[in-house]
Amino acid sequence: MDDIWIEKYRPSTLSEVVGQREIVSRLMSYVKTHSLPHLLFAGPAGTGKTTCAVALARGLFGEDWRQNFLELNASDERGIGIVRGKIKDFARVAPLNMAFFKIIFLDEADALTHDAQAALRRTMERFTQTCRFILSCNYSSKIIEPIQSRCAVFRFRPLLPEDIRDYLEKIAASESLELTEDAYEALVYLSSGDMRKAINALQVASSLHTKIDADVLYRASATARPEDIRELLDSVIVESDFMGARNLLDRLLIDHGLSGEDIIREVHRAVFNLNLPEIEKVRLMDTVGEIEFRMVEGGNERIQLETLLAHFMIAGERIHNTT
């Protein structure tokens, strides 16, 4: 799905960015002084890394910012050729419109190969006078140390629920959408601190209804409701009803069309909210991790999920026998 709303509602200035106040404050100081080191933006998806890079370029270069700004997605072109070609060609040309430097923004830089990163390190050294680099990544540990040492590192955190809600309320008002209270709670739950995921879920739901509640959102995003997962786990842990839990699992897989990985991800989130001793939660998390690994390696989803239910039921019997 095209991120139409992502672009439509992307903040155009740093002051409009939500959820990253400390980072925005530091970036605005660069705009005021018109100076900029190489930057490394690290953090989860949907937390504002690309938005901050674009807003920073707008603040530094004004309305003609595109002439001195090059955005590349390193996951599309991740080899050494992209560094020796597009990046070097753009970096060696003097900035336009009396700007002091140009900016190259490398999104998903942790996808660059080791050789490409080594070549990039040398390029960053040679063209510092005319060009600054902003690297964006989910995992800074995948960026080689020589590059990290040349950058000011900004670590983005998942957005807080109140920040996500405030921004979604702005979008809902602009699009004439009516959201119920449980719809906002569902969007916060679905997003897990990822604004992009929340906006896309709202956009999909808006194509179905203008009045949106939690049920519409869960169906539109093909995500299991927390109550359904809790009912599934209670069936095996509390009620020791394996066949009943198996029927609930069928409903999630067939009626809701969820994949095994979707379910295992929701089970992982639900385990922390179970009323169980800590040591039992540890054992269950170990089992969840093992089952998820088997599924990723190609194990049959149905068999692995039923195995997971069996482990949870054994844990429930163990708890009942000790109390």
Dihedral, 248, 251, 252, 258 alpha carbons, nearest 10 = 150
Instruction: List phi, psi (to 5°) of 186.
Output: -65, -40
As annotated, the residues of the chain forming the CATH 1.20.272.10 domain(s) are 226-322
Q: What is the pLDDT of residue 323?
A: 65
3-state SS class at 154: strand
Task: Please state, as a whole number, how many other Cβ atoms lie within 10 Å of the Cβ of residue 124.
Answer: 22
Rounded to whole angstroms, how far apart are CA atoms 120 and 137? 15
Q: What is the pLDDT of residue 258?
A: 84
Q: Would you report the helix, strand and coil content of the chain in percent, each value rounded to 5?
A: 60, 10, 30
259: pLDDT strictly greater than 60: yes
247: pLDDT strictly greater than 80: yes
Instruction: List phi, psi (to 5°) of 137.
Output: -155, 160
Give the largest CA-CA distance in the chain: 77
What percent of the chain has a predicted confidence (pLDDT) above 70?
97
Q: Which band of pLDDT confidence, cut at 50, 70 and 90, is reported for residue 291?
A: very high
For every residue of 73-99, DSSP letters joined together read: ETTTS-SHHHIIIIIHHHHTSPPSTT-
Rounded to whole angstroms, how far apart are CA atoms 321 and 323? 6
Mean pLDDT of the residues in the chain = 89
28: pLDDT strictly greater than 80: yes
Give how far the C-alpha of residue 290 lies from the chain's centroid of Cα atoms, to the nearest Å: 24
pTM: 0.82
Rounded to whole angstroms, how far apart are CA atoms 10 and 25? 18
Q: Which of 120-124, 241-245, 268-272 has the lowest mean pLDDT?
A: 120-124
Q: What is the pLDDT of residue 194?
A: 92
As annotated, the residues of the chain forming the CATH 1.10.8.60 domain(s) are 161-220
Of 143, 68, 62, 57, the residue nearest 101 (C-alpha): 68
Structurally, what CATH architecture does the domain formed by 161-220 represent? Orthogonal Bundle (1.10)
Find the mean pLDDT for residues 26-42.
92
Condensed to tens digits (0 to 9), the pLDDT of residues 275-286 reads 888 999 999 999
Q: Which band of pLDDT confidence, cut at 50, 70 and 90, is reported for residue 210?
A: confident
Condensed to tens digits (0 to 9), the pLDDT of residues 45-58 reads 999 999 999 999 99
Cβ pair 117, 143 in contact under 8 A: yes
Rounded to whole angstroms, how far apart are CA atoms 23 and 52? 9
User: Which numeric CATH code is attached to 4-155?
Assistant: 3.40.50.300
Rounded to whole angstroms, how far apart are CA atoms 185 and 188? 5
75: pLDDT strictly greater than 80: no
Sheet containing strand 69-73, edge to edge, reads 69-73, 102-107, 131-137, 38-42, 151-155
As annotated, the residues of the chain forming the CATH 3.40.50.300 domain(s) are 4-155
Structurally, what CATH architecture does the domain formed by 226-322 represent? Up-down Bundle (1.20)
Condensed to tens digits (0 to 9), the pLDDT of residues 76-111 reads 666 676 677 778 888 888 888 778 899 999 998 888
230: pLDDT strictly greater than 70: yes
Rounded to whole angstroms, how far apart are CA atoms 154 and 27? 10
Greater confidence, 159 or 73? 159
- The amino acid that residue 74 corresponds to is A
For every residue of 100-134, DSSP letters joined together read: S-EEEEEETGGGS-HHHHHHHHHHHHHTTTTEEEE
